[in-house]
Chains A and B, each alone.
Chain A
Amino acid sequence: MYDFSLLPEETVRAMIVALVLFLVSFLSFVIISLYTLINTSIYSKEHKEKLKLICDVAYFHERGKRNNQEDSIYISPLDMIEENGFVAACSDGMGGLLNGEVVSKFVTDSLFEHYPYKFNAQAENAKIISDISDKVYEEYHLSAGATLVMVHIFDDYMNFYSLGDSNIILIRNNRATILNQKQNYITLMIKKYAEGGIDTIDAYRDSRARGLIDFVGNHKCKVQMTSKPMRLIENDIIIVSSDGVTDSMPLNRIVSHIHADQNATGIARTIKYGVRASKNAKQDNYSAVVIKMNRSFV
């Protein structure tokens, strides 16, 4: 033990002052921290619904077993999200036709040229896509084509556009749904069978029925689009992908592989390795843009 009585009186006084100052500043720090914490938590609770959703984005773009990369993706500038929203698209050159690589790249390059897009001008945006399709038609006259899926997210809402059979997948509450409809002959056959009151098993047996009835490169194509935007919620995961992803990794397997606490990069990585792990000998090109919706407190 120190015998403080041996110290000069001034030193002891200085030590006491220093101690008091330290205690005061420590207490102030604790009080301010607690106050901020409580206020932030109350504010977050009160304004949770009003706070915007922000997009956490990642992508992968893989060749699979093909010689060429016929998928092409487009991601709009992330620093323009506040003003113009976020746009992501994936175009897949049609197998069996020539120049798939060139057409899909032309599609995404054209989307880039037309950026920014007005969020509430769905018909106008669909017309842009339809014009791109007409240009492809004029160049190739149905000897080349591509599919296209595109999402446009602004705050808590999303519009989507689709031509062909690529996928826009929404994972919500651990359940995955492909939002866009596949524009192939199966759709027409199902309509006929259903109207006739019979089951539709034959529609899936004929592999030719998977042929597309609409795509980029078709003349006067009808772009599938949302006429009103869809409301997004926190933790929604949107995957804009080519069919090379879902051919090797069905929706239920995607859902079972990803975790709620993963960010977009983690989800993209999981899906990419999931496709690779399926060891598909004829693995098509597989590409996807993964978007996870987070609540912003900024």
Chain B
Amino acid sequence: MIEYYTFKHRGDALDYTDEIFLRLVPDLTVAIFYGSKISSAPKSQALLFSEILNSEEGSKSIDYLASVFEECLDEGSEYLILKVLKNGVECFRRGEVYAKIIKDGQILLLPNGFFGMSPDDRIVCATAKFYKNISDEGILADALVADSCSEWMNMMIRRISDQTQLRCGNLSVVTLKRNN
């Protein structure tokens, strides 16, 4: 079973221009669209992103899906797609949206492609704005202490709040954990 928790915050920006999407079938797919850097109509790009993800093409391989996004979305679009498979995760990212995995007491940046995942591992997906105000060691410590994905998220948000009082633009974060 996969446990996940999402957090969205407008911050001090006028609008929430990022977006988090979840698709539950056939595999859990988490997608973050980073619209904060798109100057014109970021919301329509996010809608387009969502349409593609929820279409039939969204259930195809991650490479195929990435090629469709590449073809249809604005050149400056930045996003991350993470598919949770039986024994690992498949990841594709474009631009400054990252996924990091907590594995064996260490934190690692998830590369594009397949990455094995064991039950104790945890994953955080977020835009660069989130990682700017929190250290890897902070993310790691919270992951090792927290019992659940929501608790982990609250701990990380506390760290970002200590730095910025959450006035740091849009925050879009997803935490994931595989339970036995």
Residues of A within 8 A of B (CB): 157, 160, 170, 172, 175, 177-181, 186-187, 190-191, 193-194, 197-201, 203-204, 224-231
Chain A: interface secondary structure? Answer: mixed
* B158/A170 in contact, CB under 8 A: no
| Residue B142 lies at the interface, judged by CB distance under 8 Å to chain A | yes
Residues of A within 8 A of B104 (CB): 231
Interface residues on B, range: 20 to 34
Asked if B12 lies at the interface with its beta carbon under 8 angstroms from chain A, I say yes
Alpha-carbon separation in the docked complex, A277 to B78 (Å): 48
Per-residue contact bits, chain B 1-29, to A (CB 8 Å; 1 contact, 0 not): 00000010111100000000000000000
Partner of A172, one of B10, B137, B154, B158: B137
Q: Which residues of A contact B57 (CB under 8 A)?
A: none
Q: Can you report 13 A-B residue pairs in the complex whose CB atoms are below 8 A from each other?
A: A172-B137, A177-B135, A179-B138, A179-B141, A181-B158, A193-B166, A194-B9, A199-B166, A203-B165, A204-B165, A225-B145, A226-B141, A230-B105
Are A177 and B141 in contact (CB-based, < 8 A)?
yes
| B155 lies within 8 A of chain A by Cβ | yes
Q: How far is the CA of A226 from the CA of B10 in the complex (A)?
A: 31
| CB <8 Å contact, A200 and B141 | no
Asked whether A230 lies within 8 Å of B144 as measured between CB atoms, the reply is: yes
User: A187 CA to B151 CA in the complex, in Å?
Assistant: 11
Expressed in whole angstroms, the Cα–Cα distance for A277 and B36 within the complex equals 44
In the complex, which of the residues B141, B144, B161 contacts A190, with contact meaning CB atoms closer than 8 Å? B161
| A228 and B158 form a contact (CB under 8 A) | no
State how many angstroms separate the Cβ of A282 from the closest Cβ of chain B. Answer: 22
CA distance A226 to B152 in the complex (A): 12
Q: Are B161 and A230 in contact (CB under 8 A)?
A: no
Do B137 and A179 touch across chains, with their CB atoms under 8 A apart? Answer: yes
- Closest B-chain residue to A231, C-beta based? B105
Residues of A within 8 A of B166 (CB): 193-194, 198-200
Q: Establish whether residues A197 and B158, one from each chain, have CB atoms under 8 Å apart when the complex forms.
A: no
Complex Cα distance, B140 from A230, in Å, reads 8
Closest to B140 in A: A230
| Nearest neighbor of B7 in chain A, beta-carbon distance | A194
- Which residues does chain A contribute within 8 Å of B120, judged by CB atoms? 228
Contact A180 B141 (CB under 8 A): yes
Cross-chain contact B137 with A194 (CB below 8 angstroms): no
Complex: A217 Cα to B79 Cα, angstroms? 48
Contact B135 A175 (CB under 8 A): yes
Whether B145 pairs with A157 at a CB distance below 8 angstroms is: no
Whether, in the assembled complex, B167 has its beta carbon less than 8 Å from a beta carbon of chain A, the answer is yes
Q: Are B105 and A228 in contact (CB under 8 A)?
A: yes
List B contacts of A175 (CB < 8 A): 135, 137
CB contacts (< 8 Å) of A177 on chain B: these are 135, 137-138, 141
Q: Nearest-CB distance from B108 to chain A (Å)?
A: 11
Nearest neighbor of A187 in chain B, beta-carbon distance: B158
| CB <8 Å contact, A226 and B154 | no
Q: Closest approach, in angstroms, between the C-beta of A271 and any C-beta of chain B?
A: 19
Closest partner residue, chain A, to B147 (CB atom): A227
Out of B140, B145, B165, which one reaches A201, CB within 8 Å? B165
Contact call A197/B141, Cβ cutoff below 8 A? no
With a cutoff of 8 Å between Cβ atoms, the chain A residues found around residue B161 in the complex are 190, 193-194, 200, 203
Give the shortest distance, in Å, between B86 (CB) and chain A (any CB): 22
Please tell me if the beta carbons of B145 and A191 are within 8 angstroms of each other in the complex: no
**A159 CB → nearest B CB, Å:** 9
Residue from the set A186, A200, A225 with the largest chain B CB neighbour count within 10 Å = A200
